[in-house]
Chains A and B, each alone.
Chain A
Amino acid sequence: MLLQRRLLCTQVPKRSIHPTHHQNSNLNNKKWAIKQVTKSNFAETLEEIKTHIFNSDFIAVSLQKTGAFSSPWQKVLPFDTAEVAYLKAKYAAERFQVLQFAVCPFSVKSSKIIAHPYNFHLFPRDELKMGMPSYSFFCQSSYLTAMAQEGFDFNACIYDGISYLSRAQELAAKDRTGNPLPRSYMKPSQSPTVYSVADSMFVDRIKSRIKIWKRTCQDSEKKTEDDLISTLRKIVSGGEVFGSRPSLSIDICSERQVQLILETLQEFTDLVPLLVPAKKELQLMEEEHNMQVRGFREVVDLISTSQKPVVAHNAINEFAFIHSKFIAPLPSTVDEFRSSLCSVFSHIVDVNHLMREIGPLNKVNNLPAAILYLKRRFTRPLHMEIPQHIDGDEVRVHGRDVLRISELFAKLCLILRIVPESPEADYSTSSSTLECYANVFNPCFISSSDLLDDDVNISTEKTRRISVANLVFLWGFRGMMSARKLKSLLKGSHEVFSGEIDVRLADRNCAIVVFWAPGFAERFLKVMNSGGTNCEPIKDMISEGLRAACYRTYKRVCELSIWEPSLADALEKALEEASDLPEANSEEELPAICWDNDELTNLDDL
């Protein structure tokens, strides 16, 4: 204890000496003090993190996965509706694996963040030999390479990573094994037991005890006795009643003795052995068993029961993984997903979504850049304090994103006035403010203000809101073409393009066209379906292979999981299948998305 205090003391002066560097050194500090957790130190850490989770105001989480999306169009794109974004996140969550799960319970007190960062190394080892938690998983070599460059120790992760079972898997496992108690006791071993002297003495003693008890039982059945005498007799012989049958309890203290008694009992044909663990033992065994079965999920359950707000970056992706690995298989629609998730975590806050609230930041999708931006714009200092001490000089960088998320969230809270600035007031008073930011599962591109006003987005001048009915996918144009070229080509081809249009590439050979004037998209599709009658340029392009599809086809691609590497191929396939089916619910109300010119520019670089 004394030692620990001294260690803490040495850290404090360091900070006070360089107050000016403080802002930079928070996260650039070489000692990240993120506790790295593997199977070997999991049990002790679990107790530790439990208290931190219950004593902190927020919990930041961040996951390191083995991959994200297989081809450019399969990542969540700016023109995706919530439904489509969810289907994409679902596909990724079902394929890839989580190798690191960073958890950071933190509190914000005036201008201080008190954080307790942990990074758990996971590996889906089949501890119960039941093909769970994961039969197989995909890896993207670029992801593994990037992790290797950060110095990630794959050997430690695979040899010593913590396994887990989801809630659904645990139920299935219980269903299959039935009794959580070890079954090896139930059938005595075939090999004849070699008795030691002590063993044979024990066996003899037990044997005679059983014999006496049995005799008493049989005797008492024959003659009626005085109540007092029969009670005394019971006490002496140790007889009890189990259900309606007479029974005898034998206290044992080792597994060896269990084995011996079971073997002894084989001599008595009319006796059935029942193994009743002592209460305390039972509890211990169950806890141990649960720990072994649930593994890392214990942490997820702790976060869940604490009811603390969970902060994440790109929440839809992170929570699709969390849901599929630790709760249950992902449902097929975003609404089911949302309600299922809300029953586990009461508040989920996406820092991406909060950033959106501060207008110009909406482009910043990268954590360090966002932090830097906020530091420049809002100079109020915020100190990060990590009370836990970690020995050893290893670089503890893994899981540092979780600290960045905590810091970013704290800063955003100050700016958006979500958390009261007085140190006395606690989180509960401010919860109503937070409430309106929580559980927004639209892709990060839609801000809550958009949900209120349905026309043009007001937060920035560049983002505009548009119904997906005005979007058309185009592919089959000649060779590799830039969006700009395609736009000029289209402009001259037909009058529908005379109005304001935007053209962007969704992937290498598929483009998306936005018709800002309503009704033009439909007209264009009609022209395309007619084969370009009355319009030679379009006719020529169609003969060269130009194809078009509405947004609904794109949605169908995701619904049917047609995850072809190229979007054009996927749309083609979806069209083929759709042609066999009657055009159903065409009147369905189409959602709107936000169109931001700037966010799409990077697609041109493909």
Chain B
Amino acid sequence: MNGSSKFYRTKIPVVRMVVVMKNLFTIRAFHKSLISLSSSTRHFFCSSSSSASTFAIKNVTKSNFESALNDLRLYVKDADFVAVDLEMTGVTSAPWRESFELDRFDIQYLKVKDSAEKFAAVQFGVCPFRWEPHRQSFVAHPHNFYLFPRQEIKGDDTSYEFLCQTTSIDFLAKYQFDFNLCIREGVSYLSRSQEKEALGRLNARYKDRLLDSSSCWREGVDTKLVRVADILFSERLKNKIAEWHDGLLGDRNGASQTWKTSNDSKQQLKTIFFKMRPALDLTGFTSHQLRLIQLVVKNHFEDLVYACVAGESSSQQLIVYTDSASGRDLLMKELKDCLCKEAEMKIKAAIGFRHVIDLLSSEKKLIVGHNSFLDIAHIYRKFIGPLPSTAKEYVISIQKFFPYIVDTKVLLNASTVCQKISKKSSTSLSKAFALLCPQIASGVKTSGLADKRLVKVEVQVDNKRSLNWNSGAKHEAGYDAFMTGCVFAQACSHLGVDFTLNPSSVDLSHHEKLQEYINLLYLSWINGDIIDLKTGERKADSICSKGFKAHHSKILFSNTVLLWAFPAKLKASEIRECFCKVFGSSSITFIYHVDKTAVFIQFSKQELVSDFLVLKETLERSNDPISVLHPLSKVLQGGRTRAASYEVYKQICSSTISKVFFADQAEAVGIEWNAKLSKPVLEVERQVDFEASENQLYTDTRNETEIVSGIDPPLYMHSPTDELDSLCPAEAQMSK
């Protein structure tokens, strides 16, 4: 080693030359490979290179947002469809807010609404797909936006507060989510309604100010001069300003500069020109001193105006000279307009990521998601406005912004063709991707015949392109959006959409083969309930209900009672036993745990609901030995046990409060509904019952069949029946 270095030292010139030449060579070689990569991609594909390319996904943060947005505009304009995906800080704000089989259609919406209102979206994947006929493949541009609800303008503080579900955050951490990047560099946003509100506030403020321009700048100018120091300071400044003022007038008369200042005050008072008027720039004063100066100007100088102008970095304090009253008014107006315009600019700048949503909306592109009802709700809440209170209002509104939405989860479960391919296995995104697009998922080329049916997808990130790109970053919004798009393209091909036939791109939004599936979303996967975005109704002939609802038809909401805050550790079987002793052995259809503090009890007959509520009331009121020995006393023990009809469940779900346990939640919400009705509990429940019977019409339209009595019904405990990867419910939702 030592020897060789000596050897080199003696022949430095030669060695250096070699190195230089090598460098040249490698650069050239690299360049060549780039050309071949971009110009002959078809050739590249035919040679069946199985090594997956792994260049990084396009990550977008504050710093590159503008340029990425400009690029994205072009991609979206040309796209045939755009796949989207979101990562959130959580899914359910309490365990009982998870989706249950016993959730009625309207309650399912309330649960999604609660989730979209409370949690933040931290990553937004956008992936436009374009069919390139001459290449016979799709080109995808996956983008991974980091979002953070940073407060850029003043306003309602509560919208800059969000919930984090511990398990979800932990889940994101498991997949190496970069929280630092998100919080420091995430793109912020302003919803349409927030923007409107901010502009409205701005207008109101400036209108107000025009009305009384005298108190234009700051209230509280009449600070009394109490301290000796203040008086001295004011006096000194008065003289200084007077000097400057007189100097100005003298200057105009052609006299030489007479205003002499010491070095110290020259730094603090600098003559500048503001909007063609001479002005004094005040720097280095404290806010208290500035207030005093303001006072001096107001009281002693008619033709001077104290102004506060927002500069580049900080606000600038000025004393401006105006030669007449009209000139003064003009200046005030100019200042006002200037401030107003600046504030408006600030609001426009705060729109941030919403530009992407506006782009997707204005281009009316087909939006593709995977189990995307929650995602779309988040998009609505974050970038459009507050969520309407009913599902119907919501879907009508969302259709205005996104007329064409298709969900790959619906597609996979609904079409018999796709079901055959997926062999009824899990339709989680990553599984579907691996099954439908093996050539992309694992980079393995299958046999030629099967390969023919596989849709080719080429990925482009900046200037890099690849046909078997695999960033491998699962549960990253950008990659998930890419997978969703690939699954969709492949599913389309299986459904008989032939991309290759068309000389130009295919109009997927209006394609006859897809019409059956467009604008249908799973409102709740666990129930298999599908919502039709065109009507806001539950899809009547649930096309995808296969295998789901063995017992769903048995749920009769008007027969159901909600029971909570019963003695701890009371098991469902024990509750059932108590009830059977009172109302007969076949009186209970099932008992379903909401959480450990609450259960749903469904009676076989509707009358039993009110029978039970009345009985409970009488038992609680009387204290005689009979009521103590009553079989129900085991359930009512402790005196905290509450019961109500199903409608109260809706009320509790629609509350913005989220306590971990249902009993606590009901208590917290109860403050409101008890006080509102402020009648004995019994009447509250009767009234609610009345509402329930009105709702009967609703349940009738759903073709509910009467319960077949005699069959011993199972005891339902809610367990995620969804997919294999549902280790915990939060994960199940997130991993979809």
- A484 interfacial contact with B, CB 8 Å: yes
Across the interface, which residues of A come within 8 angstroms of B183, CB to CB? 144-145, 147-148, 154
Closest Cβ–Cβ distance, residue A134 to chain B (whole Å): 6
B162 and A137 form a contact (CB under 8 A): no
Given A70-B157, A125-B170, A141-B161: A158 in contact with B151 (beta carbons within 8 A): no
A67 to B169, CA, bound (A): 17
Residues of chain A from 454 to 484 with CB closer than 8 A to chain B in the complex = 479-480, 482, 484
A561 and B668 form a contact (CB under 8 A): yes
From the candidates A136, A565, A577, name the one contacting B158 in the complex (CB within 8 A): A565
Which of the listed residues A123, A135, A145, A479 has the most CB atoms from chain B within 10 Å of its own CB?
Answer: A135
Across the interface, which residues of B come within 8 angstroms of A135, CB to CB? 94-95, 165-166, 660
Across the interface, which residues of A come within 8 angstroms of B178, CB to CB? 155
Given A148-B180, A479-B208, A484-B219: A71 in contact with B158 (beta carbons within 8 A): yes
A480 and B208 form a contact (CB under 8 A): yes
- A138 interfacial contact with B, CB 8 Å: yes
Across the interface, which residues of A come within 8 angstroms of B164, CB to CB? 66, 97, 136-139
Which of the listed residues A124, A137, A139, A159 has the most CB atoms from chain B within 10 Å of its own CB?
Answer: A139
A138 and B162 form a contact (CB under 8 A): yes
Chain A: interface residue count, which band?
Answer: 35 or more
- B184 interfacial contact with A, CB 8 Å: yes
Residue of A nearest to B595 (CB): A131
- B167 interfacial contact with A, CB 8 Å: yes
Given A144-B183, A148-B184, A158-B179: A139 in contact with B161 (beta carbons within 8 A): yes
- B671 interfacial contact with A, CB 8 Å: yes
Which of the listed residues B93, B156, B178, B219 has the most CB atoms from chain A within 10 Å of its own CB?
Answer: B219
B161 and A138 form a contact (CB under 8 A): yes
A378 to B654, CA, bound (A): 58
Closest Cβ–Cβ distance, residue B662 to chain A (whole Å): 13
A107 to B295, CA, bound (A): 50
A70 to B160, CA, bound (A): 9
Across the interface, which residues of A come within 8 angstroms of B675, CB to CB? 576-577, 580-581
From the candidates B156, B165, B179, B205, name the one contacting A136 in the complex (CB within 8 A): B165
Across the interface, which residues of B come within 8 angstroms of A286, CB to CB? none
- B173 interfacial contact with A, CB 8 Å: yes
B162 and A139 form a contact (CB under 8 A): yes
Interface string of A129-166 (1 = CB under 8 A from B): 00100111111111011011000011100110000000
A97 to B164, CA, bound (A): 10
- A336 interfacial contact with B, CB 8 Å: no
A125 to B120, CA, bound (A): 19
A158 and B169 form a contact (CB under 8 A): yes
Across the interface, which residues of B come within 8 angstroms of A142, CB to CB? 151, 160
From the candidates A136, A145, A484, A581, name the one contacting B166 in the complex (CB within 8 A): A136
Residue of A nearest to B149 (CB): A141
Which of the listed residues B173, B208, B668 has the most CB atoms from chain A within 10 Å of its own CB?
Answer: B173
- A2 interfacial contact with B, CB 8 Å: no
Interface string of B242-257 (1 = CB under 8 A from A): 0000000000000000
Closest Cβ–Cβ distance, residue A327 to chain B (whole Å): 18
Given A126-B166, A136-B166: A154 in contact with B180 (beta carbons within 8 A): yes
- A560 interfacial contact with B, CB 8 Å: yes
Given A155-B180, A482-B220: A136 in contact with B151 (beta carbons within 8 A): no
A480 to B201, CA, bound (A): 11
Across the interface, which residues of B come within 8 angstroms of A335, CB to CB? none
- A604 interfacial contact with B, CB 8 Å: yes
A480 to B202, CA, bound (A): 12
- B150 interfacial contact with A, CB 8 Å: yes
A97 to B149, CA, bound (A): 18
Residues of chain B from 50 to 102 with CB closer than 8 A to chain A in the complex = 89-90, 93-95
Closest Cβ–Cβ distance, residue A247 to chain B (whole Å): 33
Residues of chain B from 120 to 160 with CB closer than 8 A to chain A in the complex = 120, 148-151, 156-158, 160
Residues of chain B from 168 to 192 with CB closer than 8 A to chain A in the complex = 169-170, 173, 178-180, 183-184
- B678 interfacial contact with A, CB 8 Å: yes
Across the interface, which residues of B come within 8 angstroms of A480, CB to CB? 205, 208
From the candidates A66, A141, A560, name the one contacting B150 in the complex (CB within 8 A): A141
Across the interface, which residues of B come within 8 angstroms of A561, CB to CB? 668, 671
- B163 interfacial contact with A, CB 8 Å: yes
Across the interface, which residues of B come within 8 angstroms of A147, CB to CB? 183
Residues of chain A from 34 to 75 with CB closer than 8 A to chain B in the complex = 66-67, 70-71
Closest Cβ–Cβ distance, residue A369 to chain B (whole Å): 14
A97 to B162, CA, bound (A): 12
Closest Cβ–Cβ distance, residue A242 to chain B (whole Å): 31
B220 and A145 form a contact (CB under 8 A): no
Closest Cβ–Cβ distance, residue A34 to chain B (whole Å): 20
A71 to B180, CA, bound (A): 26
Closest Cβ–Cβ distance, residue A290 to chain B (whole Å): 21
Interface string of B428-446 (1 = CB under 8 A from A): 0000000000000000000
Closest Cβ–Cβ distance, residue B163 to chain A (whole Å): 5
A126 and B167 form a contact (CB under 8 A): yes
Given A70-B157, A479-B208: A138 in contact with B163 (beta carbons within 8 A): yes
A208 to B150, CA, bound (A): 72
Across the interface, which residues of B come within 8 angstroms of A148, CB to CB? 180, 183-184
B671 and A560 form a contact (CB under 8 A): yes
Across the interface, which residues of B come within 8 angstroms of A560, CB to CB? 671
A131 and B95 form a contact (CB under 8 A): yes
B158 and A141 form a contact (CB under 8 A): no
A124 and B166 form a contact (CB under 8 A): yes
A413 to B148, CA, bound (A): 44
Residues of chain A from 100 to 145 with CB closer than 8 A to chain B in the complex = 123-126, 131, 134-142, 144-145
B163 and A137 form a contact (CB under 8 A): yes
Across the interface, which residues of A come within 8 angstroms of B180, CB to CB? 148, 153-155
A482 and B157 form a contact (CB under 8 A): no
Which of the listed residues B149, B161, B173, B180 has the most CB atoms from chain A within 10 Å of its own CB?
Answer: B161
Across the interface, which residues of B come within 8 angstroms of A70, CB to CB? 157-158, 161
A148 to B62, CA, bound (A): 15
Across the interface, which residues of A come within 8 angstroms of B204, CB to CB? 479
Residues of chain A from 464 to 507 with CB closer than 8 A to chain B in the complex = 479-480, 482, 484-485
Across the interface, which residues of A come within 8 angstroms of B148, CB to CB? 141, 144-145
A70 to B151, CA, bound (A): 13
A480 to B170, CA, bound (A): 44
Across the interface, which residues of B come within 8 angstroms of A565, CB to CB? 156-158
A125 to B148, CA, bound (A): 22
From the candidates B150, B179, B220, name the one contacting A604 in the complex (CB within 8 A): B220
A142 to B153, CA, bound (A): 12
Closest Cβ–Cβ distance, residue B214 to chain A (whole Å): 13
Residue of B nearest to A154 (CB): B179
Residues of chain B from 370 to 400 with CB closer than 8 A to chain A in the complex = none
Across the interface, which residues of A come within 8 angstroms of B151, CB to CB? 141-142
Residue of A nearest to B168 (CB): A136
Closest Cβ–Cβ distance, residue A73 to chain B (whole Å): 11
Closest Cβ–Cβ distance, residue A157 to chain B (whole Å): 8
A123 to B220, CA, bound (A): 46
From the candidates B156, B173, B219, name the one contacting A159 in the complex (CB within 8 A): B173
Interface string of B493-528 (1 = CB under 8 A from A): 000000000000000000000000000000000000
Interface string of A559-587 (1 = CB under 8 A from B): 01100010000000000110011000000
**Beyond the given A135-B95, A141-B150, A145-B148, could you list 8 further A-B residue pairs with CB under 8 A, ordered by the A residue number?**
A131-B660, A136-B94, A139-B120, A158-B169, A479-B204, A480-B205, A565-B157, A581-B678
Nearest 6 A/B pairs, CB to CB? A154-B179, A580-B678, A482-B219, A577-B675, A141-B160, A136-B165
19 pairs of residues in contact across A and B, judged by CB atoms under 8 Å = A70-B158, A124-B166, A125-B166, A135-B95, A136-B658, A137-B166, A140-B157, A141-B160, A144-B183, A148-B183, A148-B184, A153-B180, A155-B173, A155-B178, A159-B173, A480-B205, A561-B668, A577-B671, A604-B220
Chain B residues within CB distance 8 Å of chain A: 89-90, 93-95, 120, 148-151, 156-158, 160-167, 169-170, 173, 178-180, 183-184, 204-205, 208, 219-220, 658, 660, 668, 671, 675, 678
